[in-house]
Structure 1
Amino acid sequence: MPEPGHTTGATTDDPAADPASGAQLTSLSTRAARQLATTTKSEPQMQGISSRWLIRMLPWLDIKGGTYRVNRRLHLRVGRGRVAFEHNGADDIRVVPETLTELPPLHGYSDTGVLAELASRFRPREVRPGEVLCEAGQPITDTYLVVHGRLTRYAEGLYGEEGVVGVLTDGDQVGDEAVGQAEPRWTTSVRADTAGVLLALPWQSLRELTAREASLAAHLAAYAERQKLPANRRGEADIPMQAGHTGEPTLSSGFVDYELRPREYELSLTQTVLKVHSRVSDLYNDPMDQTQQQLRLTIEAIRERQEWELVNNREFGLLHNTDYGQRISTYSGPPTPDDLDDLLAMRRKTRLFIAHPKAIAAFFRQCNKRGLLPGSADVGGHQVPAWRGVPIFPCGKIPVSAQHTSSIIALRTGEDDQGVVGLHATGIPEEYQPGLNVRFMGVNQAAVISYLVTAYYSMAILVPDAVGILENVQLGRVE
């Protein structure tokens, strides 16, 4: 029996307080604290710490007010998205009606009943490897959605050779560009590289539906009219001008129009409450401060989660916010030098690649197969692999799918170059690091001290071509 006035708890040396006994601790026990208080020892180590190159390489803007607005010129050409599908067996595959608005002609259309009717008119079609879906010059009679598989768009070159124009994979579309054309024809040929499943919509079926649904007909007509408006190659509203003239002609006039609803990025956050027992912080601080060591490792974990969010967050992460027009697929599965060259060709001033370490290894295997030696780049005294002078940084936060595929991301960074920028707020109360603060929350009746640790951050893509993604990167393929 304990003496009157004597208390026992989870932070005593009682064997019952040992974690192995099943007792639930709310702070570091004295037994664990002694591991830092006796003998010559190291600081606590943590396997979960990575190099966090993405956080280190991003230029960070100080955001006052917690919101960053990205103003852009008026964009007339609607970008492509990707549709989703429902699988109810091998022969019952349907497009999710609400995702049909990812098709440029249907962008912004809100009548769900009509969309459901339109979705029901798609019919499954299986394709075999090598099967030609359509040939350049033929009339467009169907539009296709790729449920599964890989198809290549190609055109005939100047001397009759075949030139690859692009690759279509799961969720892509082809044929919808015929909307608004009187006699649409295929501009490229399409061939299946693998076995696959498509959903096909005959144009005659679409005409029947538009004849019956006035709202759909009006929406498609408005889309066709927008396509006729002058725009630059990026789809922005054109600025009238003329060049090479002589004499005194009347000059063109106009203005630069802006998006009326620009995107705004609010700072996100990662938070946790760190608990330290007062006895531990009072008695076991030599030679290492227990609170500081606990805080150091907590901040490392928060920064790891921060980088994960920068890659995977649905609101601002790179994988979910990169324009679909800036996504390409590998030609054959593994990431080849040709694939990375195509990714580089999509933008100016690419500053860096980030890729899962296994994707980098897969790329090196393809270089070895071709007898190529990738270069290296000096980044802050570190030698990192590079391709065409652009450093390739490892990032384990890029996911690897169940099919053992991943992605490689290319970025242009900096506000001056209209690239990708990190967002944070500095000068916040009780700031411990830029954009991160530690606030004392008090001591509870169990003598446990609590600290609120918070990191504020986000990311903004200033223009769509600042980021590009090489998708369907196959890992582990050895030839």
Structure 2
Amino acid sequence: MSRRPESHGAVSSLTTAAARNLATTTKSVPFMAGRTPRWLLRVLPWKPVSGGFYRVNRRLSYPVGEGRVALVGPVDGLGVFPPSLTEIPGLRGFGDPDVLTEVAQRFRRHDVASGTVIAEAGSPQTRLVVLAHGKAHKLGRGRYGDATLVGVAADGDHFGGQVLTGAAGTWPFTLKATTPCTLLELYPATVAETLSTVRERLAERPDRPRPPLTKHGEVSLDLAAGHDGEPVLPGTFVDYELSPREYELGVAQTVLRVHTRVSDLFNDPMDQLEQQLRLTVEALRERQEHEIVNNPDFGLLNNVDNRQRLYTRTGPPTPDDMDALLSRRRRTGYFLAHPRTIAAFGRECNRRGVHAPATRVEEQIAPTWRGVPILPCDKIPANADGSGSIIAMRVGEDHGGVVGLCAADLADEYAPGIAVRFTGVDTKGVASYLVTAYHSVASLLPDAFGVLETV
């Protein structure tokens, strides 16, 4: 058994602690733990914008389908946001806020347990139902009489709106709660006088017939095909939106302070100002990605088209859910999800014995589904209840997809869309630099991206 040598008296050679005073230390640049891959910023094509605004011109289109009703208040006191009632047949096009508020106050809350049949297919429609909280399946009958899943409904979806127009009808599908649900119900008899006023005012408006529309709500063009001889060809033209949406560039800013003594005396071998700027810009880039996902004005999660919002059939993201999300658009380029959501999808694939192959994206390995890469983005919220979202998007102007926006021709430009401007030295000898990042994101067509919610 070896024994540790013991030191007796003075040391016989130079110690390492003393030797360090004469040695040159090899150093690394500063690292930050908060830096992420920022895949969203990397896969978006960036469009330089002059003038601070980017206008998205589209063909003139008319609303097709029905949007969701907005809800306000906590879960135990949910109510309907009155202006959003115009998404319901019978109230569409009506804008009197007092009348809409009165209608909103007549809704009555009804809580149902999981498994409850809210409405039976073929039964008469006697009420308007708003699904305020929870999830329900829309069940129909297949060609041979077997039960089929028509769709999934969740917060804000509404059914039976035609009862407000006075038209009698039956439920086209069975609505069955798959979780405990909170319903807001409205019976026409309780607001009969108010609805008659609405109908009278809508009838006073000039009736402008709608031209034939495509499934996307755009006016059909008169074309001739398959003809023979010399028939008179139809004439047509393409109309544009009169008030196209304009995206204003958002801004993220900070003032970087560096003492002149530090930059004068401690600049070798690394430039102190350059390292400070590098880490500050990294933080700004992280904030940019967060804003592109979550900004209330232009963020992706807050601007998804109602027809591009989907819900999981059960809870975890399954291959069926990913297929449903993928089928809503052409040329889907990327899925983006929180890393925990990607892990949950992997578990579902393992449980079903399905293999999700991997691919190489910019020299890194990423899982795919149907050949579309699934990229991590921790800026997509992972809620306290364990739910999140998955974004599927098409990118690029050539395909009418999603494009990132940055400022063009900035003075004192440090990087694309980022300016660093020296603002002076104060009486304490501290130099200040204004660091500014301009950014936004635009969706060129309603189906450019979609979101699988409550994952």
Same topology, TM > 0.5: yes
| Matched residue, 2:357 | 375
Shift, 1:217, TM fit: 4.2
Is the CA contact 1:277–1:448 (under 8 Å) kept in the aligned structure 2? Answer: yes
Q: Residue deviations 1:334-361, cap 9 Å, x none? A: 0001000000010000000000000000
Aligned counterparts of 2:399 and 2:166: Cα–Cα separation in 1: 37
| Matched residue, 1:10 | none
| Matched residue, 2:288 | 306
1:146-165 matches, within 5 Å, as 146-165=131-150
Shift, 1:95, TM fit: 2.0
Label 1:222 to 1:229 Cα distance change in 2 as closer, same or farther (>3 A).
Answer: farther
Label 1:344 to 1:155 Cα distance change in 2 as closer, same or farther (>3 A).
Answer: same
**Pair 1:41 & 2:16 matched:** no
1:394-405 matches, within 5 Å, as 394-405=376-387
SS in structure 1 opposite 2:218? coil
1:142-181 matches, within 5 Å, as 142-176=127-161
Shift, 1:251, TM fit: 3.9
Give the residue type in structure 2 aligned to 1:445.
T
| Matched residue, 1:191 | 176
| Structure 1 unmatched ranges of 5 or more | 1-36, 474-479
Aligned counterparts of 2:200 and 2:361: Cα–Cα separation in 1: 55
SS in structure 1 opposite 2:261? helix
Q: Residue deviations 1:31-77, cap 9 Å, x none? A: xxxxxx97322111100000000000000111122211001112212
User: TM-score, normalised on structure 1?
Assistant: 0.85
Is the CA contact 1:151–1:167 (under 8 Å) kept in the aligned structure 2? Answer: yes
**Pair 1:337 & 2:315 matched:** no
| Matched residue, 2:201 | 218
Aligned counterparts of 1:384 and 1:418: Cα–Cα separation in 2: 25
Is the CA contact 1:86–1:96 (under 8 Å) kept in the aligned structure 2? Answer: no
Question: Aligned residues: percent identity?
Answer: 50
Shift, 1:260, TM fit: 1.0
Q: Residue deviations 1:352-390, cap 9 Å, x none? A: 000000000000000010111211122122221111100
Is the CA contact 2:90–2:165 (under 8 Å) kept in the aligned structure 1? Answer: no
Label 1:88 to 1:372 Cα distance change in 2 as closer, same or farther (>3 A).
Answer: closer
| Structure 2 unmatched ranges of 5 or more | 1-22
Shift, 1:122, TM fit: 1.3
| Matched residue, 1:114 | 99
| Matched residue, 2:6 | none
1:246-395 matches, within 5 Å, as 246=228, 249-395=231-377
| Matched residue, 1:55 | 41
Label 1:223 to 1:329 Cα distance change in 2 as closer, same or farther (>3 A).
Answer: farther
Instruction: Note the aligned Cα RMSD (angstroms).
Output: 2.4
Is the CA contact 2:114–2:178 (under 8 Å) kept in the aligned structure 1? Answer: yes
Shift, 1:140, TM fit: 2.4
Is the CA contact 1:241–1:252 (under 8 Å) kept in the aligned structure 2? Answer: yes
Label 1:418 to 1:263 Cα distance change in 2 as closer, same or farther (>3 A).
Answer: same
Shift, 1:99, TM fit: 3.4
Q: Residue deviations 1:266-314, cap 9 Å, x none? A: 1111111100000000000111111111010000000000000000001
Label 1:313 to 1:294 Cα distance change in 2 as closer, same or farther (>3 A).
Answer: same
SS in structure 2 opposite 1:406? coil
Label 1:225 to 1:424 Cα distance change in 2 as closer, same or farther (>3 A).
Answer: same
Is the CA contact 2:136–2:152 (under 8 Å) kept in the aligned structure 1? Answer: yes
Q: Residue deviations 1:228-276, cap 9 Å, x none? A: 6421111222223344445555443332221111000111111111000
2:68 aligned residue (76, 81, 86): 81
Shift, 1:176, TM fit: 2.1
Q: Residue deviations 1:105-141, cap 9 Å, x none? A: 5455432210111012212222232222223333322
Label 1:105 to 1:308 Cα distance change in 2 as closer, same or farther (>3 A).
Answer: farther
Give the residue type in structure 2 aligned to 1:192.
A
User: TM-score, normalised on structure 2?
Assistant: 0.89
Is the CA contact 2:310–2:453 (under 8 Å) kept in the aligned structure 1? Answer: yes
Q: How many residues align?
A: 432
1:67 aligned residue (53, 68, 74): 53
Is the CA contact 1:106–1:220 (under 8 Å) kept in the aligned structure 2? Answer: no
Label 1:416 to 1:105 Cα distance change in 2 as closer, same or farther (>3 A).
Answer: farther
| Matched residue, 2:121 | 136
Aligned counterparts of 2:85 and 2:72: Cα–Cα separation in 1: 10
Label 1:223 to 1:147 Cα distance change in 2 as closer, same or farther (>3 A).
Answer: farther
Aligned counterparts of 1:427 and 1:208: Cα–Cα separation in 2: 60
Is the CA contact 1:98–1:115 (under 8 Å) kept in the aligned structure 2? Answer: yes
Aligned counterparts of 2:207 and 2:174: Cα–Cα separation in 1: 24
Label 1:305 to 1:221 Cα distance change in 2 as closer, same or farther (>3 A).
Answer: farther
Give the residue type in structure 1 aligned to 2:247.
Y
Label 1:190 to 1:253 Cα distance change in 2 as closer, same or farther (>3 A).
Answer: farther
Is the CA contact 2:89–2:165 (under 8 Å) kept in the aligned structure 1? Answer: no
